[in-house]
Amino acid sequence: MLKSARVLVVDDDRAVRTALSVNLRKAECEVSLASSVAEALQLLRESPFDVLLTDVNMPEGSGMRLLDEVRQHWPDTRVVVMTGFGSVKDAVTAMKAGASDYIIKPVERDELLLLLGRALATRALQRELTQLRQEVTEKYGFANMIGISRPMRDVYGQIEAVADSNALVLINGETGTGKELIAHAIHYRSRRAHGPMVAVNCGALPETLLESELFGHERGSFTGATRQHQGKFEQADGGSLFLDEIGEIPPSVQVRLLRVLEGGVFTRVGGEIPVKVDVRVICATNRDLRKEVQTGTFRADLYYRLNVFNIKIPPLRERRDDIPLLVAHFCKKFAERHGRREPTLSAAAMRELQAHAWPGNIRELEHFMERTVLLAAGGDVAIVHLPDSDIVERPGGVGIRIADIGAGGLPFALDQVERRLIIDALQESGGVQAHAARALGISRSNLNYRIGRLNIRMQDITFG
């Protein structure tokens, strides 16, 4: 941990600086020395340091001033202060002002190395935390929400409008439209971004477990409850709680949920002591809760409490213009994941993807493209490479199934497939037969023969 660590030692006593330098260099640290605050600041401006080891009291400037400057301009540098035995109070003040640790003079070598190792470990953890937060922000920010269609721009505007508030949000959308992604985007663009983001799928748990999962339970409240358990509301205190599939919760839990939404107070299962939390609730459902209220399966008072700000996520079939962007994103993602060269799709293949209804929405497209990347093996993707012909609607006979063969039998069906492939190849090549033949892996004369046999005419081919 200490090897190659850059340490700046600041002390007005030359003997102290020399002794510290010898010990640190023996530990393979890179050491710079300063005799004053001004000299230390100049060195900090010239190059970065991992740790600053500074005296608190110096004739030409206080170590507290140096600490303040470092905190303001070099926040990644850890500060360890040194002080005499009779000035421990100064060290405590420095700790409150942001110092990582303190050490009493005369400095013992082993203690010094221990403190510096601890400071460097803290610095590494802080860097890792910062990086993780950045990755989470990137993952759940708009940059990861693929789409420039009008419906998606409307969604972005709604997220911006509600994110920096404490309003309840209800996200409506079909399965696979990315409701959880929207919930995370709201949280990480809010003032609660540094607090926890806790998610629970309300439809995945039976009634007894769901109540305990949300509100926690006391030891002995039921068989198997061997210890006190904090529920999701407590875990999300100071942050956000995402309740996915909110329409699945049973009536008894709906009552308890309404109470905590109204007052932020609840009791654990089997408990009597009120627990108060500060939680922003974001819900999602693929159901029409208004109809659920009319049929009596969802409480009207809970629905009106949840429906403060409603965001409707459009299904993929209503944002077909976004499909090429999503396809490019998934091709890149899965090519990197599986170590393949990133494929490109033919215009005909892309038209088929855009023509499909995608009942499973983005999730279905994502899984579909992963299989496509694997099957394409890094080459260009034509219609014949697209997996699972039953998934994509293939006008023109491409991807024919047994049920589609009809009275003409297999020869007729195969002719229709071949005809469609040749037309697609000619369209892709701009009508240049030599290029189309090369793409199909046949000679130009063979292509001319097949064009005549299948009665392919120029009006069958559309360009652009």
Q: Is residue 412 scored above 70 in pLDDT?
A: no
Domain boundaries, the chain: 6-133, 143-312, 317-385, 402-460
Which of 46-50, 114-118, 139-143, 442-446 shows the lowest per-residue confidence on average (mean pLDDT)? 139-143
In this structure, what DSSP letter does residue 398 have?
T
| Per-range mean pLDDT, top range of 123-132, 284-293, 354-363, 376-385 | 284-293
Of 33 and 98, the structure prediction assigns the larger pLDDT to: 33
Overall average pLDDT of the 416-434 stretch:
82
Overall average pLDDT of the 305-331 stretch:
92
CATH classification code of 143-312: 3.40.50.300
Residues 6+ apart with CB under 8 A from 221: 268, 269, 270, 271
- Return the CATH number of 402-460, one of 3.40.640.10, 1.10.10.60, 2.40.30.170, 3.40.50.2000: 1.10.10.60
CATH classification code of 6-133: 3.40.50.2300
Q: Dig out the tokens for 220 from the structure.
A: 């002995």
User: DSSP secondary structure string, 344-355?
Assistant: -B-HHHHHHHHH
| Identical fold, 6-133 and 317-385 | no
Amino acid at 432: V
CB of 187 closer than 8 Å to CB of 141: no
Which fold is adopted by the domain 317-385? Helicase, Ruva Protein; domain 3 (1.10.8)
Residues 6+ apart with CB under 8 A from 100: 78, 79, 80, 118, 119, 122, 123
| Per-range mean pLDDT, top range of 24-28, 124-128, 240-244, 438-442 | 240-244
